[in-house]
Structure 1
Amino acid sequence: MTLTPEIHAALMGVTTATLTTVLLKKGVRTAYIRGPFAATEAAKGQRVVGPAFTLRFVPAREDLSTPESWSSPRSTRAAIEDMPADCIVVADAMGVTDAGIFGDILCARMVKKGVTALVTDGMLRDAAGVATTGMAVWCKGMVAPASVASLNFVGWQETIGCGGVCVVPGDTIVADGDGAVVIPAALLEAVTAAAVEQERLEAWIMIQVGKGLALPGLYPPNAETKARYEAETKGG
């Protein structure tokens, strides 16, 4: 299932917390990318939704991880030129925290190309410069050293592992203040429908909590509560 405008709009109203619960109910326990947080002002206080465009790094090797490699046909620079508008870049940096995979110039180019956001289990560099680009970044933090200090870039648009989660190109990524979640393409429609309904139910439950109702039987709702919810919200 591809990310249609209708599904995109629906997911913009769904929290990552809700999505992890819905995915858990559907048997997917490893959907939350561990490590990244909203690291730039452009990422804070908002939610982003988009198809995954994957990047993969491996450990550095002295003959390969050099500044000269940045000019290679297989480089982060080449990958950026292949990125379509509205994608969310997901970079597997193996959780490495002593080198930054991107800096301000690369982020500026991604913004110019219309990339929605960058999610990585690694680090970025040029913190002040990245902030000025307006790039929405979810990462583990900022450091000074360049990627080749500890990493070697090997490819893009292939299946990766990021923050303990398998990410396939075209999976849907949702990121907000709680982090980033991967929705497998095959489950996209079902997960979206269930998540939208879960949000509606929980909004109604919050109203009941505000009225002073006790939680047992309310959250999670028992059969009586579900029947009342249906009657009050759907005219059932």
Structure 2
Amino acid sequence: MTYIVKNTHTISDELLEELKLVSVSTASHTLVEMGYRNAYMQGIMPLSFPEGQESAVGRAVTLRFVPLREDLVKQQYDTLPESPHRVALESITPNDVLVIDTGSHMETGVVGDIFTRRLRYLGGQAIIVDGCIRDLQRVKAVNFPVLARGVHGGAIPRSLMSVGFNEPIRCGGVSVVPGDIILVDRDGAVAIPPQCVEDIVKIARAHDELEERWIKMKLDEGASLHTHYPPNAEAKIEFENWKKENGYA
């Protein structure tokens, strides 16, 4: 039996822009509180990130690799006009993020500077690889967000073959469905169900206000972490009173 897994929700580009103001840490924590405990991609960190850019966000376009099998890859190239990874790359539209599942393979680099340049030109926002990239210094010169587990000098034909795109994949131990909203910063990446984005933005605003405008102020005044980070019931009442007194309520 085949189970079709897909996203049925869409969000606007304007909401994506608002999500850029939310950190990966805040989004990950908020998702846990909303009941989504497995959204942060483990072991995948930024290897290239433009200086001065805080974050990147976009809709997931997925790509899947499996270990190379010589007869199958020959058959693929004999019957298909292009390999799935090239088709996936050329399908990128503005505000997409390419998310690549290699099965955490660490013996081949699947993205280099040429693919990165093309994705940037097409309007993509980031590349995430559960595996390795190659040509790291050249990738950095493209000045584009690229996250991966590591670097390997070998190219795709060494040990991998692409077999599908825009299908559910695994990346960093997280299920990623095409159309999921991907948020990345220097802490890594998180996959967000589209229907959760609006609530995350609202909760994050409240969180940031709580943390930056009040908790830090109270800590500077000598408040204890035990009572104010996170705030206990009495501290929450104190915070609500502070908001009213200062016109934030």
- Match status 1:214 vs 2:202: no
Q: Which residue of 1 aligns with 2:72?
A: 64
Match of 1:3 among 6, 11, 31: 11
Contact 2:127 2:146 in 1 (8 A): yes
2: distance between equivalents of 1:139 and 1:196? 29
Alignment CA distance shift 1:207-1:77 (3 Å): same
Q: Which residue of 1 aligns with 2:23?
A: 15
Give the TM-score taking structure 2 as reference length: 0.86
SS in 2 for 1:28: coil
SS in 2 for 1:226: helix
Match of 1:160 among 169, 185, 199: 169
2: distance between equivalents of 1:65 and 1:141? 25
2: distance between equivalents of 1:43 and 1:73? 35
Contact 1:92 1:162 in 2 (8 A): yes
2: distance between equivalents of 1:29 and 1:158? 22
Q: Which residue of 2 aligns with 1:87?
A: 96
2: distance between equivalents of 1:57 and 1:44? 33
2:37 maps to amino acid: R
Mean alpha-carbon deviation: is it higher for 139-148 or for 217-226? Answer: 217-226
Match of 1:100 among 109, 116, 119: 109
Give the TM-score taking structure 1 as reference length: 0.91
Contact 1:43 1:137 in 2 (8 A): no
Q: Which residue of 2 aligns with 1:49?
A: 57
Amino-acid identity (%): 36
Contact 1:94 1:163 in 2 (8 A): no
> In the TM superposition, what is the alpha-carbon distance from 1:49 to its structure 2 partner?
1.1
Q: Which runs of 5+ in 1 are unaligned?
A: none
1:30-41 paired onto structure 2 within 5 Å: 30-41=38-49
2: distance between equivalents of 1:177 and 1:135? 13
Aligned residues: 235
> In the TM superposition, what is the alpha-carbon distance from 1:231 to its structure 2 partner?
2.5
Mean alpha-carbon deviation: is it higher for 224-233 or for 160-169? Answer: 224-233
- Match status 1:205 vs 2:215: yes
1: distance between equivalents of 2:242 and 2:142? 47
> In the TM superposition, what is the alpha-carbon distance from 1:29 to its structure 2 partner?
1.0
For the aligned residues, what is the CA RMSD?
A: 2.1
1: distance between equivalents of 2:33 and 2:84? 39
